[in-house]
Amino acid sequence: MIKIIVFLSSLTLLHGCSISKVQPWEKGRLANEDMRFGGPNPMIKKFDEHIFTSKETTKGGGGVSGGGCGCN
């Protein structure tokens, strides 16, 4: 009986770890500038670009044309 209770409790707790899918119309917040690494801070953005350039030996392409809607 204890085993079953532990099993059910574990399942219930695991259920709490599940996340609901973000719907296409709920992506407004994700499209905000502050959702990027470093947010609106230009220094962190520059630092991030420097890491990318050093690692990938290429630069540019950091901008996004879409607004997070996943449509292009």
Q: What residues line the site for other proteins (CB under 8 A)?
A: 4, 7-8, 11-12, 14-15, 18, 20, 23-29, 31-32, 65-72
Q: How far is the CB of 15 from other proteins (least distance, A)?
A: 5
Residues 45/36, Cβ–Cβ less than 8 Å: yes
Minimal distance, residue 52 CB to other proteins, in Å: 23
Shortest CB 3 distance to other proteins, Å: 11
Q: Six-digit token pair at 24? A: 């296409």
| Residue 6, Ramachandran bin (φ over 0: left; ψ between -120 and 50: alpha; else beta) | alpha
